[in-house]
Amino acid sequence: MNLPPHQVQLTDDGRLKHFLTTEGLSKALLTEILDTADSFISTQERAVKKVPLLRGKTVVNLFFENSTRTRSTFELAAKRLSADILNLDISKSATSKGETLMDTLWNLEAMYSDMFVVRHSDSGAAHFIAEHVTPNVAIINAGDGRHAHPTQAMLDMLTIRRHKNSIAGKVVAIVGDILHSRVARSQIHALRTLGAAEVRVIGPGTLLPTDIEAIGAKPFYRMEDGLKDCDVVIMLRLQKERMQNALLPSEGEFFKLYGLTEQKLALAKPDAIVMHPGPINRGVEIESAVADGNQSLILNQVGYGIAVRMAVMAMAMSGQQQSAIESEEV
């Protein structure tokens, strides 16, 4: 039976054993992730940054899609939890020579791996692996197609909470290519669960999903309308590699209408914060004066990403271990 991702990722008593999506997770569980990440931030300021929570465990970075920032922060997170790391170069792996995904997974399982961090261009890939992997192996979704990027969403939630004290009651605008963005979907689900007053999505009609209101976001087609009185402005990268057709007249035209400038940012609240999941396309989504300005938290997000990924990995492994104990008792 194919279960929804939010059910696959939980133990019978509601603890995290995989992390596939923010959709369907409770406020209490999302808050636990943020609280755990907060506790790890202080460890990153110490001379010795490692903690022994995953000592003796093997974490495999299974990236079928390129990513420097996400992969490196997951690797750092695993190392700071004292895990052993295997980075699998998919372009040189057996899958590029005709071996099936399941054969690759079974070979990795035979090496007594404990966790797979999966990034894949197909939506639902992490869910598929979680359903078919051997018990006691945790799956962390590092981005799948247009579907979800839950750790990015949670590091964004941590950024908002640490700099605005709370997510509850805040008006958040997400700007740009919503249609192709797995980050935006994960952000919207997390923001609604954590009590944001309003989630706005801003972009041209060609880059806004037709069903966006069904998942709790309000569409705006003009920056002047959508940015008014916002507490948080999240800019998104144009997902040019996922665009099937010419959905934009030009990057210059996009920047003119939807790029974040100091003038447009002035429409938001004076203490509004600016975020971007990266990598930044300066002069396309955001001008340098804003990206490097006092309201920008873009570099803070990178640091928080390590703490969030440490939290998720530690919680998922703990959930897997508890499930194994309960199974043995039965």
Structure tokens at 233: 């402005």
Is the domain of 113 the same as that of 188?
no
- Rounded to the nearest 5 percent, the helix, strand and coil shares of the chain are 45, 15, 40
Q: Does the reported pTM lie above 0.75?
A: yes
Give residue 278's pLDDT.
85
| CA 251 from centre of chain | 25
Query: How far is Cα 178 from Cα 212, in angstroms, rounded to an integer?
Result: 9
Binding residues: 69-70, 97, 119, 149, 152, 182, 237, 278-279
Judged on CB neighbours under 10 Å (0-12, 13-18, 19+), 163 is: middle
Per-residue model confidence as pLDDT tens digits over 39-60: 999 887 787 889 999 999 999 9
Instruction: Please give the Cα distance from 205 to 179 (Å, whole number).
Output: 9
Does the pLDDT of residue 251 top 90, yes or no? no
Instruction: Find all residues with CB under 8 Å of 225, minimum gap 6, and list them.
Output: none
Q: What angle do CA 121, 310, 105 make, to 5 degrees?
A: 45
Angle (nearest 5°) at CA 318 between 137 and 305: 85
CATH, residue 28: 3.40.50.1370
Do 241 and 214 fall within a single domain? yes
- Containing domain of residue 244, as a range? 150-298
Question: What confidence category does residue 289 fall into, taking pLDDT thresholds of 50, 70 and 90?
Answer: very high
Q: Is the predicted pLDDT of residue 244 greater than 80, yes or no?
A: no
Say if residue 124 is in the same domain as residue 15: yes
Q: Between vectors from CA 230 to CA 225 and to CA 236, what angle results, nearest 5°?
A: 80
pLDDT of 281 higher than 60: yes
99 and 35 fall within a common domain = yes
* Distances from the Cα of 232 to the Cα of 171, 217, 297, angstroms: 7, 14, 11
Please, which residues have CB within 8 angstroms of residue 105's CB and are 6 or more apart in sequence?
116, 129, 132, 133
Q: Are residues 36 and 112 in the same domain?
A: yes
Q: Are residues 23 and 140 in the same domain?
A: yes
- How far is it, in rounded angstroms, from Cα 260 to Cα 272? 13
Q: What is the pLDDT of residue 184?
A: 96
> Which among 227, 243, 238, 104 has a CA at the least distance from the CA of 173?
227
Query: Distance between alpha carbon 285 and the CA centroid of its chain, in Å?
Result: 19
Q: Are residues 41 and 177 both part of a single domain? A: no
Give the residue-averaged pLDDT of 152-160: 98
Residue 165 has pLDDT above 60, yes or no: yes
How many structural domains are present in the chain? 2
Q: Which residue has the tokens 């971007």?
A: 276
Give the residue numbers of the binding site for carbamoyl phosphate. 69-70, 119, 149, 152, 278-279
Note the pLDDT of residue 159. Answer: 98
Specify whether 183 is located in the same domain as 86: no
The dihedral over CA atoms of 313, 319, 321, 324, expressed in degrees to the nearest 10, equals: -140
33-37, 42-46, 49-53, 166-170: which range is least confident on average?
42-46
Binding-site residue set for L-aspartate:
97, 182, 237
190 & 227 share domain: yes
Closest CA to 136 of 329, 327, 324, 325: 324
* Mean pLDDT over the full length of the chain: 89
Task: Please say whether the beta carbons of 140 and 250 come within 8 A.
Answer: no
Span of 54-58, 80-84, 186-190, 322-326 with lowest mean pLDDT: 322-326
Sequence length of the chain is 330
72 lies in the same domain as 82: yes
Q: What is the pLDDT of residue 98?
A: 57
For residues 126 and 178, membership in a common domain is answered with no
Same domain, 78 and 14: yes
pLDDT tens digits, one per residue of 261-271: 999 999 999 99
Q: What angle do CA 274, 182, 32 make, to 5 degrees?
A: 70
